Amino acid sequence: MITGTIHETLALTTPSGRSVTVQILTPDGTLPNATEIRKQEQEWEAKATAYEQQRLDPMLINRSHFAAEVLFLAAQGVQQKHPGILLSQDLAGRILGVLLYTLPDPPRRTRGTISLMAIDPTYLAGSPGSDQLRGIGTTLTMVVGQIFVARDVPEVCLHPLDEAAHRFWQGRGFPPRTPGGPACIRGPVEVAQLAARCGHEHPDLPDQGDSLFVGSFEATERVRLPRLKGLY
């Protein structure tokens, strides 16, 4: 079980009506937490490899590897006591989703950023099984939105991972991004609405194809390739 500051405890559901209680928390910067996150990252990577062996959809495979790399980076961040990390975990301690963010640091950085976000490959759009847990990503976004509002963050940006994520975030209030650039919302009202639009009553629906990953494959490849060479 990951320890930390719990921001929300809520119930997520599946299409069949199964309910799972989850915690959204900022993990403590401890070695046991980093070790446990690293262990679960390896489990996510094993799922991605299994999807490859089953010759499932290439985008599902890519997103699954991406998710494992984001969780690996979260483990590094926890070990380095980085504050901008949110995890979603169930009451058995299984990590369901991860979000990394930055707060403004004027004058060098004047906006908040959702830097990376991913969820357990088990619950991705297109993954095997039909009873996928809904709302993992949106509840993480709801909490980071609340953090941004509490800090009076004037602008929030994110870089959708792919076109599916771009469409999802447009549906949650982000304007179309320029090719290769971030999507940004500006103004206190819009930032507050981000948390509302991703509230518990408006979950992402992976069973209906929703994908909301944030980041870039290039960023995680810079982690993945050295690891494949045995440097980690």
SS3 115: strand
Q: 4-221, what's its fold?
A: Aminopeptidase (3.40.630)
Q: In the chain, what are the domain boundaries?
A: 4-221
Per-residue pLDDT tens digits for 99-135 = 999 998 877 777 899 999 999 999 998 898 778 899 9
Cα 9 to Cα 88: distance, rounded to the nearest angstrom: 9
Per-residue pLDDT tens digits for 34-70 = 999 999 999 999 999 999 999 999 999 999 999 999 9
Q: Tell me, what's the pLDDT at 225?
A: 47
SS3 181: coil
Is the full-model pTM beyond 0.85? yes
Cα 117 to Cα 6: distance, rounded to the nearest angstrom: 18
Which tokens go with 123?
């619950």
Residue 24 CA to its chain's centroid (Å): 11
